[in-house]
Amino acid sequence: MNKFPPVVQTIVKDTTIYRDTVLYVYLPADTVYNSDTVYVNNEGQSFTLGRIITETGYARAEAWVNDSKLYQVLFHKQSALETRYDSLLREKQKMITIDRIVQLPCEVTAMDRLTRFTKWIFALAAIIFVGIFVLRLKK
């Protein structure tokens, strides 16, 4: 005889994975112009300086003085800034494992059943036989 339904064991494992993320911020190109008057005690003469240029990976700046006026120009280059965030993305994984455990029942052979049955029949027959024998002796 098999046991029905079979025993089933379910194992559920939840896993949470955090991932680092890199985001890029787009910066469009731009140009800014500015001028201002520079007061220099040069006995009334106009004051002039040559062009000064500074450049980085993101921008280029130029400045000069012409006729006692300061001129500035800033050229911003098109770029993307990289920003890194730790553990920004969270991913959940669920793993389900189903194990089917089959338990073998204790086997009972037909000979064992027959032997038990015959033992009960013989015991019952012996009781009936002794009962009939006792009843006949009383008469």
Question: For 51-67, what is each residue's pLDDT tens digit?
Answer: 899 998 888 999 988 88
pLDDT greater at residue 13 or residue 9: 13
Contact at 8 Å (CB) between 95 and 7? no
Alpha carbons 130 and 136: distance in angstroms, whole number = 10
Question: Lowest-confidence range among 49-53, 90-94, 116-120, 127-131?
Answer: 90-94
pLDDT (average), residues 33-40: 76
pTM: 0.40
Is the pLDDT at 40 greater than 80? The verdict is: no
Model pLDDT, residue 3 = 53
Is the pLDDT at 107 greater than 60? The verdict is: no
Is the pLDDT at 103 greater than 60? The verdict is: no
Map tokens 């001129």 to a residue: 71
pLDDT greater at residue 10 or residue 53: 53
Alpha carbons 58 and 78: distance in angstroms, whole number = 7
pLDDT (average), residues 93-111: 61
Model pLDDT, residue 62 = 92
Residue 48 backbone dihedrals phi, psi, to 5 degrees: -135, 135
Closest CA to 21 of 90, 83, 85: 85
